[in-house]
Amino acid sequence: MKILIIEDEPELRNVLQQSLEKELFIVETAKDYKSGLDKIISFDYDCILLDIMLPDGSGMDLLKDLKKEGKSDSVIIVSAKGSLDDKVAGLDLGADDYLSKPFHLAELHARIKSVLRRNNHNGQQLLQWNNVSLSPENRTVLVNSQSLSLNKKEFDLLYYFMINPNRLITKISIAEHVWGDYTDEADNLDFVYSQVKNLRKKLKNVNAEINIQAVYGMGYKMS
């Protein structure tokens, strides 16, 4: 389970990170709006702890950005602004929970677990292949129950392979499914090759039992 902490106060950020790592979460951090935005666009998290007052923007806008990207990462707003208005606005924008500073770490842990439990119980369909499971809705991949971090394209690529197992998939159809309109402008399909290479490497590093085989001159086959 992967958690992103977006918080500008270094001391609080470190305390949160250490306490969550002790709970065996994989924890990443961002210290401002801009780096938070980079992270939420490039990766998927099981839960995001979101501060509202950031030096270069508002956490509320980050929440809007997240929803605009069509992401379903769970969000808990962790804010010093304890006003009811903020809480209502945050929940309206799709946050899963709201916690006012200061709070006890035990309280935060309980809230995180409750949010994760709730979102995993929403009866979503999981794609499974050997020791790999992929949730299209959460955009998460688990290998042997460990979260695997993929960027957007790698995820889309793996998703496409997993719904087409044991079938030859041409580079063109991969490009069209994963890159969409951009494909028309590309001179060649080398970007497919390099993205497949990255994905394979990430899968291999965690001993995923997925084999993506190149079929020379044609495309790829997953088995």
List residues near Ca ion by CB under 5 A.
8, 51, 53
Using alpha carbons, select from 62, 63, 47 the residue that is nearest to residue 114: 47
State the residue for tokens 């969409």.
180
Min. distance of Cβ 59 from Ca ion in angstroms?
8
| Nearer residue to Ca ion within complex by CB, 53 or 116 | 53
Min. distance of Cβ 12 from Ca ion in angstroms?
8
| Nearer residue to Ca ion within complex by CB, 3 or 148 | 3
Q: In what order do the strands lie in the sheet with 168-170?
A: 168-170, 219-222, 212-215
State residue 18 phi and psi, 5-degree precision: -65, -40
Min. distance of Cβ 188 from Ca ion in angstroms?
46
Q: Which residues contact 92 (CB under 8 A, 6 or more apart)?
A: none
Spatial distance between the Cα atoms of 116 and 111, rounded to a whole number of angstroms: 9
| Nearer residue to Ca ion within complex by CB, 8 or 28 | 8
Spatial distance between the Cα atoms of 1 and 119, rounded to a whole number of angstroms: 12
Min. distance of Cβ 53 from Ca ion in angstroms?
4
| Nearer residue to Ca ion within complex by CB, 78 or 141 | 78
| Nearer residue to Ca ion within complex by CB, 9 or 28 | 9
Spatial distance between the Cα atoms of 152 and 4, rounded to a whole number of angstroms: 16
Using alpha carbons, select from 12, 53, 4, 48 the residue that is nearest to residue 30: 4
Min. distance of Cβ 35 from Ca ion in angstroms?
14
Which residue has the closest beta carbon to Ca ion?
53
